[in-house]
Structure 1
Amino acid sequence: MTSATSLQSILDRAADGGRITPEEALTLYTDAPLHALGQAADTVRRRRYPDDVATYIIDRNINYTNVCVTACKFCAFYRSPKHSEGWTHPQEEILRRCGEAVELGATQIMLQGGHSPELGMEWYEQTFAAIKEHYPQLTLHSLGASEVVHIGRVSNLDHAAVISRLKAAGLDSFAGAGAEILVDRPRTAIAPLKEKGDVWLSVMETAHGLGLESTATFMMGTGETNAERIEHLRMIRDVQDRTGGFRSFIPWTYQPENNHLKGRTQATSLEYLRMVAVARLFFDNVNHLQGSWLTTGKDIGQLTLHFGADDLGSVMLEENVVSSAGAKHRSNRQELIDLIRGAGRVPAQRDTLYRHLVVHTDPADDPVDDRVHSHFSSTALKLLPVATAS
């Protein structure tokens, strides 16, 4: 047990912008008083963003297929190849959903899906090019390192070639999808067929070098130890020291329904808040930190704004993967604005690059559109098969 004096010394140094070691981060995560931990993280956030703005984005997560060979134990969304409930959206449906998103004010599309053996390099190139042709105003913040690995296997291409061709087809940046936890033991336990964590990081480092930035994520609560949680952060920070390509860090919590893990292990709300705070203190080289309302609930999402987070993520017009595993939280633009304002912050709609598009300084001028709500359209809610690509 670390003494109170030693804990305060680490907190003070981190709050002042000093770098803390993984060992010190673990000590803070396990032993620091909750309010002191949150206060130190909030101090870092205030120094980075003295305007007190907290942001959100309007986007749509279009899950283009549920067919997947990876069979992760935490996933309730996927279906194996040839399964009767498997589907892949045709290009026309993807474009229709993009058009809907534009009409509702979305600035970003996240294309994410299963690792289907039927989808190779050309499918992604054609799909991205079609989106950019029809909706050039949409930012394609899509896929992730795992998809790069999969496309490379299907199309017999190295990672750099896949990334370069995706970029040429219209990909603007990579999402942090597929990170889950990057440490070997827990990653192998929950996703034995997925690439190793160091491969995931290698793909991201290659992408950063080729001019495609990304986010980094962390799924908490699948049986990892406290030390393994901090090691995940350490692995990301080391790559960020070399590339500077991670725009933000986004931790979220495992959802326990309809999957093989069945909720035997989960992260508590307090564990999540402690992780958000420690991440803000540890990532002296990552600009943004996003709190999750989708997996933890809107009350905890709001509290993250007092624990170092400067962003509440997305209104999320559509989301199917986490919803399939039991994430039932829904929100809308006005509610996110109110959550941010209720935390004593100034709400602002941002774009993918975290530039402020609209700053909501006066509640009387808040946007009014009841259609801008999460899960505007979701196969996870409808539970209906959709057309298979020809």
Structure 2
Amino acid sequence: MQAKEGLIRLYQPSLSAYERGIVEDILAGVRLGDEAAQALYEDFNLPLLSLLATYVRLRKNGVLAYYNRNAHVEPTNICEFNCSFCSYRRKAGEEGAWVMPLEQIVETVRGQATQGNTEVHITGGAMPGWRLEDLLRIVSAIHEACPGLHIKAFSAVELVAVFEREGMDYANGLSQLRDAGLGSIPGGGAEIFAPSVRSQICPDKASGAQWLALHRAAHGVGLQTNATMLYGHIESYADRVAHMQALRSLQDETGGFNCFIPLKFRAEGNTLGERGEIALPEVLRNYAVARLYLDNIQHLKAYWPMLGKANMGLAMAYGADDLDGTIGDSTKIYSMAGAEDTRPSATVEELHRIVRNAGYVPVERDSLYELIAEC
């Protein structure tokens, strides 16, 4: 009660009656509506958003800040789609394109596993012509080579492309992948669900409705997933709120999302880049609003290869409780788009230092947020 009264008293002179009502709802644990979320974006100052997001973050996750030991494998950057925000995609035969043979994928993962990793994250381009059997072959081979490693693989966009090509029910395809060793699904490809935005930035790939349907099906067959939002390009605040509302609604239905990962648009090397990038204060505002609005998604991830290590402490001051993982210089998606960390890798000691300097307690987790060790 003292914390509630103190916050309201501190900011009362600058708050309208409507804004004070939003603050009171947040402190009381009342679910925010879309109009309130829009007001948080448009009318609330950053210090107050930080206080409110931290209040909610502490209520949900205490002083713990999570990370895992992980690495990525990107089997190909050849993609049948041509999104205007993407710096990673290449056409077959184009300079810089690659396809990893299965043997190379397995050997890469086996080498990563010797570093103490508990997870491999597999995603890349939506390879033209790939069938379900190609995905099953990758998952099965990795699971056989490293049976104790959690396989988080294939975005909804990659999966929808394969399932639609084969005329396959999503749940059927996902069940086969699960049985082959798939442990969970990453959140990529969500971008912004609004059709008016999607038609401009990624018109030829899975729709927002298909992304949501794929994740609903995954939850239905027992696969937990993550959720993302690509922001800071042509979308409006209303588009962001509608995107999160769709995620919140699906989470009410299934409970299958582990975390939400806001991903800032990076401008280098893509056709959308002439618009430039949003500044750090807007990034922090977005973390805070996400933490305050998504009351039923437990974890908010600050993906450091996108954000940069230098800004991780700030992200934790605006509601983030997860840093992703060690990565081990194994992803090129953000480095090819101009991220500060061109060869993203973090030691456990670095992550511990970042967390402790922000005033939290670092905790190693597995892919499903079961604790491995408190540090």
Length-normalised TM-score, structure 1: 0.88
Compute the displacement of 1:85 (Å): 3.9
Q: Distance in 1 between matches of 2:162 and 2:242?
A: 28
- Give the corresponding residue for 1:289: 300
Q: Distance in 2 between matches of 1:11 and 1:297?
A: 30
- Does the aligned pair in 2 maintain the 1:15–1:281 contact within 8 Å? no
Classify the secondary structure of the residue corresponding to 2:66: strand
1:13 aligned onto 2:13: no
Kindly, what percent of the aligned residue pairs are identical? 35
- Give the corresponding residue for 1:338: 353
Residue by residue over 1:132-175, the C-alpha shift from the partner in whole angstroms, topping out at 9 and shown as x without a partner, is: 11101110111121111111133332222221111111111110
Match of 1:235 among 239, 242, 246: 246
Structure 1 segment 235-314 matched on structure 2, within 5 A: 235-314=246-325
Compute the displacement of 1:198 (Å): 1.3
- Does the aligned pair in 2 maintain the 1:240–1:246 contact within 8 Å? yes
1:53 aligned onto 2:79: no
Aligned residue identity for 1:44: V
Superposed CA RMSD in Å reads 1.5
Q: Distance in 2 between matches of 1:143 and 1:11?
A: 39
- Does the aligned pair in 2 maintain the 1:12–1:40 contact within 8 Å? no
- Give the corresponding residue for 1:201: 212
Aligned residue identity for 1:332: A
- Does the aligned pair in 1 maintain the 2:313–2:355 contact within 8 Å? yes
Residue by residue over 1:262-301, the C-alpha shift from the partner in whole angstroms, topping out at 9 and shown as x without a partner, is: 2414222111111111111111111111113222222322
Q: Distance in 2 between matches of 1:54 and 1:223?
A: 32
Q: Distance in 2 between matches of 1:186 and 1:300?
A: 28
More helix by share: 2
Aligned residue identity for 1:213: Q
- Give the corresponding residue for 2:102: 91
Report how many residues are paired.
358
Compute the displacement of 1:331 (Å): 4.5
Compute the displacement of 1:201 (Å): 0.6
- Does the aligned pair in 1 maintain the 2:78–2:99 contact within 8 Å? yes
Aligned residue identity for 2:29: G
- Give the corresponding residue for 2:53: 41
Q: Distance in 2 between matches of 1:276 and 1:213?
A: 22
Length-normalised TM-score, structure 2: 0.92
Compute the displacement of 1:180 (Å): 1.2
Classify the secondary structure of the residue corresponding to 1:348: strand
- Give the corresponding residue for 2:114: 103
1:28 aligned onto 2:40: yes
- Does the aligned pair in 2 maintain the 1:117–1:154 contact within 8 Å? no
Unpaired runs of at least 5, structure 1 = 361-390
